[in-house]
Amino acid sequence: MKSLTRLFALASSLCLLVSVTADENHEIIEKVMKDGLKGKTSPLAKVLEEEASDKEIKSLAELILTMKGTKAPVGDQSAYDEKVEEMIAAMNVVAGGDKGPKALERLDNATNCKACHTDHKPKKD
């Protein structure tokens, strides 16, 4: 009986850990979208319009980097990972000083909301 109780306690703890991880995952993704990428006055918009300071570019790069290791809310994890890695890489090119048209176009393509939302955003009920 004692081992059954311990097993139940361990299983409950693991379920709680998974739910916290899922919540944290959602918070990270939401923070990057709302604080970095969304809107005509977002840090991303400023970068793409070449109006962002070096400090703002670095801050955006750090924010986007927080998505590394997040889990796809829905859809194929490897496809999601590729999109996140490309977004990080494209942002790092710009943060590294390349603000030319090709670098900015790459960043614009890598941060395309619809491309990610179509495959990975949960559908509302």
Q: Quote the pLDDT of residue 93.
A: 98
**More confident site: 7 or 106:** 106
More confident residue, 30 or 2: 30
Three-state SS letters, 19-61: HHHHHHHHHHHHHHHHHHHCCCCCHHHHHHCCCCCHHHHHHHH
**pLDDT score for 41:** 95
The reported pLDDT for the residue numbered 1 is 59
**Which amino acid is residue 4, in one-letter code?**
L
Decide if pLDDT at 74 tops 50: yes
Question: Residues 15-51: pLDDT tens digits?
Answer: 444 444 778 989 999 999 999 999 999 999 999 999 9
pLDDT value of residue 56: 97
Q: Is the pLDDT of residue 10 over 60?
A: no
Helical axes 54-65 vs 77-95, angle rounded to 10°: 160
Question: What does the pLDDT look like over 77-106, one tens digit per residue?
Answer: 999 999 999 999 999 999 999 999 999 999
